[in-house]
Amino acid sequence: MIAYYAVIAASAGLTFALVNHAGDALVGPMWRDIGIVSLGCLMTVCGLFLCRNWMGGPGALGVARACVGAVNITFCVSIVAGTMVSPFFGLVKGPQLLMSLFGSEPIFAVLWGLILFETHQFLKRSRLEMSPTKTADLRQGNVSDFTLKNVR
């Protein structure tokens, strides 16, 4: 649950920075900005829920899957949230604005990546806690029969 709260807070900040970074592209009243930030948070939680199977795996394969999952979450959320903000142009403008923000302010990309990596760590710990029989095997290094199907 902590992972979801961290992602909600990070996505709120990232969406707020994205709205402010867009400048004249998103001119409107304050309630529209609040709506866009809320929509960004909601879509990020939905993206994390949909891509949760990519996150939380053990070992090097788990980290590789988490990297792919982080890219999936980032691009899927930007496409869906951009489409909801502007139905015709948002499909292209959402990822374009996100990449321009990551390019001009790389600290946002680093922070977003760190939040998603910590989400991977939180989900890994929670999956290990849900499966006490597998915890002992993982601590001893026996990961041959460990799959994500076993801990659901």
Of 6-10, 29-33, 63-67, 93-97, minimum mean pLDDT range: 29-33
How do the domains of the chain map onto residue ranges?
A: 2-151
Determine the number of helices (DSSP H) and then strands (DSSP E) in the chain.
6, 0
Q: For residue range 27-47, list pLDDT tens digits in order.
A: 555 777 778 788 878 888 888
Question: In which band, very low, low, confident or very high, does the pLDDT at 65 lie, cut at 50, 70 and 90?
Answer: very high
pTM for the whole thing? 0.70
In 3D space, the residue among 148, 130, 121 whose CA is nearest the CA of residue 7 turns out to be 121
Residue type, 132: P
